[in-house]
Structure 1
Amino acid sequence: MAAIDGPAHLLSLKVMRVSRPELASAWQPFYSSSPSFSAHSSASILSLQGTSPLLGHPKTLRDLTHASEFLTLPSSFGSIQLGETFSSCLCVNNETEAEIEVAQARVEMQTVTTKVVLFEMEMEGAGNMLRGGDTIERVVHHEIKELGQHVLACTVTYRLPPNSRPVPGASEDATDPSLQTFRKFYKFAVANPLAVKTKVHVPRSPTALLCATEREKIFLEVHIQNLTQHAIYFERMRLECTDAWKALDSNFLPGDDRAETSIFSGSMALLQPQDMRQYVYVLLPKNQELTPIVHAPGSIIPLGRLDISWRSSFGEPGRLLTSTLSRRIPLTPAPQPASALPPHLKRTMAGSTPSRPGSPSVGQPSRTGTPPPVPRPGSPATNRASISSVMLPQSPHQPSTLPTNQLPDLEAQLIVRHIPRESLVVEREFPIAFTVILTSSTPVAGKGHMRRKVKVAIQHIRPRKVQPLVVTSPTVPEAFSPRMPSSGFSTPSSSTTTFNYALAHQKILAVSSQPPIRDVINELDLSDDNTSILPRPYFEGADELKSSTAAGVSFVGPSTTTLPAIELNFANAQNKGEGTPKVQAFQEFELPFIALRKGFSTIGGLRILLIEDHLLESVEEEEDDRKTKPRRATTLKEYDIIGEVWVSA
C-alpha cells in the first residue's frame, strides 16, 4: 500500500490491512527407506500416511504442499477482489511524551464515482486527550462493489500543546492556528475475481413451439471462471428474476431423502484457479398467453441478475451481484445499398445468358428475315392459356373470392395440448389433443357488425410420392430377321418407315376437341352451399423434400376434418398493444394417429383451411341470409411438423 506522507507531525498514522492467516510452508525431505523419517511423517497432524510407509511415494500433505501446522500473517498487502470485504486497522500514535488533544479523525473510501465515510470520530472535553506513547485503534470494514482504483483517505486533526511549534501549512483555520491537520492517502486497485458470461437459448423444436408452456421458456446458460490465485467455494448461486419471470434451478439433483443436492458437491465443491463452471437456469413467464408473443427487432428483455456468495481457501467471504442480465432480440438484416456503378458496367445476370453459345433463348429476337410462326387451324395450342395465367383449382395460394375490403384480417394458431408419449405402441392408434386459436381484428368503424362466424377445416398433408423414372431400353432387332440380298452395284434403300400423316391428323383433332382444364372446373356442380374446393393434401415446393422423413407416424381417417363453426364477438375485443383491438376464439379437437415403426419420428403436417367466413350485423340475424357463396378454401396456416415422438415398443 503506497502512502503519501505530509510534513512531520506530533501524531503518526499507521494503516494495516486485516486479513486471515495462512499456513506456513516448511519443506522437509521425505525418505521412504528411513524408519525414523517415516515415523516422523506419520506423527504429523497433516499426515495422510498409514502405519506402514509407501515406498517411493509420499502420502503426507506436508510433503506434497510443503505446508506445516503453523500459521503466518501475509507479508504483503496482497490483492483485493471485487465482492470482498476490505478490513483495515488504523492506529493513531502519540510520538511525544506530552498529552495531545485529538479533535477529529475521519476515514473515507473514495472511488471514481462515490465517496463513503467509513469512520468519523469527534471528541470533546477530557475524553479526547491522548497521552504520550498511547494509541487510538479502530477497525473499519467496507464491501468492495466497484472495479478500478480505490483510495483510502485518512484525516486527523489535533490541537498543539502549549509552547509547541506549529507545522508550516498544517493549519486550516486562520482564527485558531493551534489546530493542525494531516492527511494520508492509500491507493490500491480492485480486480475482478470472477468472469461471468451468459448465453440465452430459446426453444426451436416443433414440439416446443406448438406448446403454450414450452415455447416461451428461456434457457439461461452461465459460465463462471475463477480469476483469483486461490481456490474458492460457492456458498450461494441464485438467480434473482424480474417481476415478469420465475426461475427453475437445474443445477440440483434429487437426493435419497427428498433433499436436493448440488451437482457441484464433494470433489467438485472447490473451483480451482482459472477453472470454469457452467450453470443452467430455466426461466418461465408468470403470465402465459395463448398466442405467441412477437417482440420487436432490437428490443431488450430484462431477465434478472445473479447473486453469488463464496469463500476463499482461508474462509474470507465474498459476494458479487451482477448487473441485469437480458435477452436481445436480433435486428433485421439491413438492405443492401444501391450500386454506384452505371448500368452498362454492371455484370449481367447468369440467368439472362444462354447456357450454350448459339442456343436460342426466350428473350432473344428472331433472326432477320424469319417470318413469325403461323398457327394451324384446329391446333390445341390456340385454345390453351399460358401457364402463368392459369391457376390450378387445388392450389393453396389461390386468393379468396370474398371481397377483402369487407372482412378484417384473420389469423390462426395451433396449439398441441397433449400427446400420450408414454403409451405409444407400434400399429396402435393414439389421439392428439389440439386447440386452434382464431384472432380477428375489429371491422371498420360505422359498419355496425356485432359478430363474425368462421368455419375452419383441418387437413392432413404429406409428401408426394415420387414415381421412379422408367428408362425404356431400345428394342433390339431380331437376330435372324430376313434381309434382302443386295448386290454390290445397287443403291441401298432407307430402312425408315413412311410417316402416317392421316393418323397424326386424327389424333390432333381428338385432342383439340377436349375442353381445357379451366372449362372443366367451371362445369363442376357448385349448387350445394357446403361445397368448397380444397387444396391437394400434399406439401408444396421445398416443404416436399423437407418433410419427406415424416413416415414413422401416419394419420388415421379422412384427410380433412371440418370443425364446428366459431363465432367471434367484437364486443369482447381487447387492445393489448399498439394497433387495432382484436378478439380471440378457440376450438378444441382431437385427431387420431398411428405409429408405423420404432424409434424417433415426426408427426405432420397439418393445414388450417378457411371454408366459411361472414359477418353478422345483429344478434338476431338469420345465418342463411348472410352465407357466403361457394368458393375455394383459403389456407390460414400450414405446419410441416406438429410433434416429435419416440416409439420404444
Structure 2
Amino acid sequence: MDSLRAAWLIEIHPVLRLSRPSLSSQYPLPAENAKISPKASLSYPSDEADGQFILSPNLTLPPAFGSAYVGETFACSLCANNELPEDETSRVVTSVRILAEMQTPSQVVPLDLTPGGEEAHTDGLGKGQSFQKIVRFDLKEEGNHILAVSVSYTETLMAENLHAASGRVRTFRKLYQFIAQPCLSVRTKASELPPSEVDNKSLGPYGKTRLLRFALEAQLENVGDGAVLVEQTILNPKPPFKSRSLNWDFQRPDSVKLQPSTLNPRDVLQVAFLVEQEPGQQDGLEALQKDMKRDGRATLGQLSIEWRSAMGDKGFLTTGNLLTRKR
C-alpha cells in the first residue's frame, strides 16, 4: 500500500444536518488489526470508543451525497487523521494543513476554515490523533456543487538515533459532489391601483401631485421534500416607494406573539403588500420617472424570506428586483 494512503485518511461528517443528506455509515477498522490503530480510522478518534460496536457514532459524506437547498448553509467538519501504526517509529508526520474550495456552477470560491489561523501542527500530529477544521458555505446558486478538499503534510523519515534523516511534502485531494436545488418557489404579481393625490404648493395654490400605488402579491410554494417553517416575509421597497404588509400580521399590536406559517411539501402561502410612492421623497424619483417614460414599468423592491427546516436549519432567500407590468 502506498505510504500516503497508509498514513492518511480524510473523513467528512456533517456538523449541521443537510436538508436531504445521503450519508454512509462509517465502519472503524477491526480492533485486532495490528498495522493501523482502529482509533485513527474514525472521523473523530476517541479513547471511549466501544470496540464491540460495529458502527461509529459519526456518519461520513460519500463522494456524491444527494441534494442541499439554496438559501441554506452547507456545513461539515474536515478531519485529517494520522493512521500510522502504533509501533511505527521510522516516520513522523508534521506541518499538516487542510485547504478547501467550493466549485459552484458559476465560480470557484476558496473557503475560510474555522478555527482560523495557521494551525498546521508544525510540531507533529501523533498517531491516532485528528486535525480538524469546520467549513461553512451559503448556498446561493442552483445546480451542481463540488467541495474540493486538499491536505498537505510533511513525512519525515527518522534514523535509528531518532534524528531526522530525510523528509518530503505529500498532498492528496478529495472531491464531494452534491446538487443545490430550490426549497421555496416564489411567484409574484403586481397590480396598479388608482393613484393618490396630495397637495403640492409648488404647482400653485390648488396644485396636486399624483402618487403611484401598487398591490404586490406573492405565492410561496414549498418545492422541497420536507416541511418548512416560514418565519418572516418582508418587502424591501426601492425608493421612492414605501411598503405596508396586507397579511395576517397587519396592524397587530407588538405584544402579540405571532406564529410562523408551516408549509408541507407542495403547500402554498400567499402574501400581499401595498406599495405606495412616498410624498416628498426625492431619492429614486428621477430613476422612476425615466423607467416609467421608457417602458412604463416601475421597480418596486425585493422580497426577503426567512424559514427553518424541520431540523431547525435556517434558510434565507432574497428575490431579484420586482417589476410592475408594462402599461
Bin the TM-score by the shorter chain: 0.5 to 0.7
In the alignment, the residues of structure 2 paired with residue 134 and residue 198 of structure 1 have an alpha-carbon distance, to the nearest angstrom, of 54
Shift of 1:298: 2.4
Whether the 8 Å contact between 1:99 and 1:161 is mirrored in structure 2 is yes
Are 1:104 and 2:101 an aligned pair?
A: no
In the alignment, the residues of structure 2 paired with residue 18 and residue 296 of structure 1 have an alpha-carbon distance, to the nearest angstrom, of 53
Whether the 8 Å contact between 1:83 and 1:143 is mirrored in structure 2 is yes
Deviations 1:313-362 (A, max 9, x none): 121111112222122424xxxxxxxxxxxxxxxxxxxxxxxxxxxxxxxx
Match for 1:186 among 168, 176, 195?
176
Deviations 1:402-427 (A, max 9, x none): xxxxxxxxxxxxxxxxxxxxxxxxxx
Whether the 8 Å contact between 2:73 and 2:315 is mirrored in structure 1 is yes
Shift of 1:17: 2.1
- Gaps spanning 5+ residues in structure 2: where? 20-56, 86-90, 160-165, 199-208, 282-288
Call closer, same or farther: CA 1:105–1:155 in 2, change over 3 Å.
same
Partner SS, residue 162 of structure 1: strand
- Which AA in structure 2 matches 1:134? Q
Shift of 1:99: 3.1
Q: Find the counterpart in structure 2 of residue 219 from structure 1.
A: 215
In the alignment, the residues of structure 1 paired with residue 300 and residue 326 of structure 2 have an alpha-carbon distance, to the nearest angstrom, of 13
Match for 1:326 among 313, 323, 327?
323
- Which AA in structure 1 matches 2:213? K
- Which gives a bigger RCO, structure 1 or 2 (Cα 8 Å, sep 6+)? 2
Call closer, same or farther: CA 1:260–1:218 in 2, change over 3 Å.
farther
How do residues 361-510 of structure 1 correspond to structure 2 at under 5 angstroms? none
Match for 1:87 among 75, 86, 92?
75
Whether the 8 Å contact between 2:196 and 2:212 is mirrored in structure 1 is no
Q: Find the counterpart in structure 2 of residue 141 from structure 1.
A: 136
In the alignment, the residues of structure 1 paired with residue 240 and residue 15 of structure 2 have an alpha-carbon distance, to the nearest angstrom, of 43
Larger radius of gyration: 1
Call closer, same or farther: CA 1:236–1:128 in 2, change over 3 Å.
farther
Whether the 8 Å contact between 1:104 and 1:123 is mirrored in structure 2 is yes
Q: Find the counterpart in structure 1 of residue 307 from structure 2.
A: 310
Deviations 1:369-424 (A, max 9, x none): xxxxxxxxxxxxxxxxxxxxxxxxxxxxxxxxxxxxxxxxxxxxxxxxxxxxxxxx
Call closer, same or farther: CA 1:184–1:74 in 2, change over 3 Å.
closer
Call closer, same or farther: CA 1:329–1:310 in 2, change over 3 Å.
same
Whether the 8 Å contact between 2:14 and 2:59 is mirrored in structure 1 is no
Whether the 8 Å contact between 1:103 and 1:122 is mirrored in structure 2 is no
Deviations 1:18-41 (A, max 9, x none): 33499xxxxxxxxxxxxxxxxxxx
Are 1:154 and 2:153 an aligned pair?
A: no
How do residues 117-266 of structure 1 correspond to structure 2 at under 5 angstroms? 117-119=111-113, 122-123=118-119, 127-162=122-157, 178-203=168-193, 208-209=194-195, 211-212=197-198, 216-251=212-247, 252-255=249-252, 259=255, 265=259
Whether the 8 Å contact between 1:21 and 1:74 is mirrored in structure 2 is no
Deviations 1:501-529 (A, max 9, x none): xxxxxxxxxxxxxxxxxxxxxxxxxxxxx
Call closer, same or farther: CA 1:74–1:232 in 2, change over 3 Å.
farther
How do residues 34-113 of structure 1 correspond to structure 2 at under 5 angstroms? 77=65, 79-97=67-85, 98-113=91-106
How do residues 281-320 of structure 1 correspond to structure 2 at under 5 angstroms? 281-287=273-279, 295-296=292-293, 298-320=295-317
Whether the 8 Å contact between 1:253 and 1:260 is mirrored in structure 2 is no
Partner SS, residue 5 of structure 2: coil
Q: Find the counterpart in structure 1 of residue 30 from structure 2.
A: none
Partner SS, residue 216 of structure 1: strand
Shift of 1:139: 2.1
Q: Find the counterpart in structure 1 of residue 203 from structure 2.
A: none
Partner SS, residue 8 of structure 1: helix
In the alignment, the residues of structure 2 paired with residue 299 and residue 108 of structure 1 have an alpha-carbon distance, to the nearest angstrom, of 44
Whether the 8 Å contact between 2:111 and 2:137 is mirrored in structure 1 is no
Shift of 1:287: 3.5
Whether the 8 Å contact between 2:93 and 2:156 is mirrored in structure 1 is yes
Call closer, same or farther: CA 1:279–1:309 in 2, change over 3 Å.
same
Q: Find the counterpart in structure 2 of residue 10 from structure 1.
A: 7
Deviations 1:154-178 (A, max 9, x none): 11111112169xxxxxxxxxxx971
In the alignment, the residues of structure 1 paired with residue 67 and residue 14 of structure 2 have an alpha-carbon distance, to the nearest angstrom, of 11
Q: Find the counterpart in structure 1 of residue 25 from structure 2.
A: none
In the alignment, the residues of structure 2 paired with residue 258 and residue 106 of structure 1 have an alpha-carbon distance, to the nearest angstrom, of 47
TM-score norm. by structure 1 comes to 0.35
Whether the 8 Å contact between 1:82 and 1:193 is mirrored in structure 2 is yes
Deviations 1:483-541 (A, max 9, x none): xxxxxxxxxxxxxxxxxxxxxxxxxxxxxxxxxxxxxxxxxxxxxxxxxxxxxxxxxxx
- Which AA in structure 1 matches 2:235? L
Whether the 8 Å contact between 2:99 and 2:150 is mirrored in structure 1 is yes
